[in-house]
Amino acid sequence: MSTRTVLHEADIARALTRISHEILESNKGPENLVLLGIPTRGVTLGRRIASLIGEFSGTSVPVGSIDVTMYRDDLHRNPTRAPQRTSIPAGGIDGKVVILVDDVLFSGRSIRAALDALQDIGRPAIVRLATLIDRGHRELPIRPDFVGKNLPSAADERVNVRLAEVDGEEFVTIGGTDS
C-alpha cells in the first residue's frame, strides 16, 4: 500500500489556527485555560496552540505535558517508549479548563490513560480534547472537541505526523500498514 501526504506544513498551520480560535470561542476567552500535550508530538502541538491563543487574545495560556505511558491498559500488547516527563504549569489544574492535546486520535486508549493520569494530578473543572488528526476506529466512547482533520482510514493503515520541532520536517502521511 502506498503512502500519501494528506497535510503539508501550511495545512497543519491552518488547522492549528482554526483549533485555537475554536478553543477561545468555546471557552469565551483564554481565562482559566490550561493546555496539556501528550508526548511526544502532542506537547509540540500544545505549545503551538498556546502560542496562537496568546497571539489572538493577548493573554498567555499555561501549557504543560502529561505522560500517559504507565496508565495505558495495553502495555502488554504494544511495546512502548520510556516514560516522558509530566510537566504541570505552576497554577496546577484544579478548577481549570484543561485541553488535552494529541497528534492522532485512533482507539481512544491514550486519551483514557490521560484522563486516569489527570486524576492523580488534580481536579479540573472541565476536560476537553484537541487533536490534529481524528482517524476513527474508536474502541472507547471518546470523541474530540477540536479536530484539525478527520481522516478516514483502514484500521491497519499508518498515520504519521511529522513536526519540525521534533522531526526536522513537517507533514502528515497515511498509508502503509502496521505490521
Radius of gyration of the chain measured on its C-alpha atoms: 16
In a domain, 175, yes or no: no
Place of cell 479536530: 147
What distance in Å separates the CA atoms of residue 137 and residue 65, rounded to the nearest whole number? 25
Q: What does the pLDDT read at residue 70?
A: 86
User: In the beta sheet, which residues pair with residue 98?
Assistant: 34, 127
In a domain, 166, yes or no: no
In this prediction, residues 101-113 reach a mean pLDDT of 95
pLDDT above 90 covers a percentage of the chain that reads 86
**CATH number of the domain where residue 114 is located:** 3.40.50.2020
In a domain, 136, yes or no: yes
Write the secondary structure of 142-159 as one string of H (helix), E (strand) and C (coil): CCCCEEEEECCCCCCCEE
Tell me what the pLDDT averaged over the chain comes to.
93
Q: What does the pLDDT read at residue 73?
A: 76
Q: What does the pLDDT read at residue 80?
A: 61
Residue 75 has pLDDT above 80, yes or no: no
In tens, the pLDDT along 133-157 reads 999 999 999 999 999 999 999 999 9
Any idea how long the chain is?
Answer: 179
In a domain, 170, yes or no: no
In a domain, 167, yes or no: no
Domain that holds residue 53: 9-72+84-153
In a domain, 140, yes or no: yes
When divided into structural domains, the chain yields a total of: 1
| pTM of this structure | 0.93
In a domain, 163, yes or no: no
In a domain, 131, yes or no: yes
Q: What does the pLDDT read at residue 78?
A: 66
Q: What does the pLDDT read at residue 1?
A: 66
